Amino acid sequence: MDFLFHEVSEEEKQKIKEQAKKIIDDFSKKLSKLDKETKEPLIEMKEFERQEGNKKDESFSRKKMFDNAPNKTDDAIIAEKGSWG
């Protein structure tokens, strides 16, 4: 993996600084053009917090979870580690 790392020259550092400054300046200009007034939300929600309680969701059960798992032992589901990311 040595090919992924190299010593950064002073010229490359300067280029990186200039690019970063340009990105920040461009972003800052675009932010300054935005309408700064607070608007009312488009969606009104009467209930916006989850209701606490001990209700069990019967549609989600340990048995269903184990039935759907392709790899499992008696008491654990065996999952892949990070292959999707």
∠ CA 22-18-24 to the nearest 5 degrees? 30
CA-CA distance, 24 to 30, in Å (whole number)?
10
The pair of structure tokens assigned to 63 is 């048995």
pLDDT tens by residue, 51-60 = 676 666 667 7
d(CA 18, CA 4): 22
> Binning pLDDT at 50, 70 and 90, where does residue 66 land?
confident
Residue 26 lies in a domain: yes
Specify if 28 maps to a domain: yes
45 inside domain: no
Q: Are 66 and 77 in contact (CB under 8 A)?
A: yes
pLDDT at position 19 over 80: yes
Give pTM, 2 decimals: 0.39
Distance CA 19, CA 44 (A): 42
Structural domain that includes position 13: 9-33
Which residues partner with 54 through β-bridges? Answer: none
